[in-house]
Amino acid sequence: MLWAFARAGSIPAFATNFKHMANKTLEKRCEEIINSLIAKEFRDEAKEIMKLTTNKHRKDFIKYFKQDQGNICCLIIDTAKRDLINDGIVFENNGNAFGNPLM
């Protein structure tokens, strides 16, 4: 049994690494969806938002893409951007495509 040989101190590190890998997988999947869904000139902004946002936004984004709800996916990016602005992580810029308060 593999677990019998694991050191007691190595389990939390493994769990942390697993969580990090899961987050990277969500980010990668979101990036693939953005490449297929979002216009080329707005992709970089959308990718940056999805990197900085929460896993809840990422999971919702993937869920609605699977349901062929592209417009909802864009609204999720808008909402994620507004949350990032409210948290002070990113700043509002009039030239940006996402996060418009007039959704």
Tens of pLDDT along 37-77? 999 999 999 999 999 999 999 999 999 999 999 999 999 99
Using DSSP, state whether 56 is helix, strand or coil.
helix
Rounded Cα gap, residues 33 and 63, in angstroms: 11
Residue 27 in contact with residue 49, Cβ under 8 Å?
Answer: no
Instruction: Indicate the pTM of the whole model.
Output: 0.75
Question: Band of the pLDDT at 24, cuts 50, 70, 90?
Answer: confident
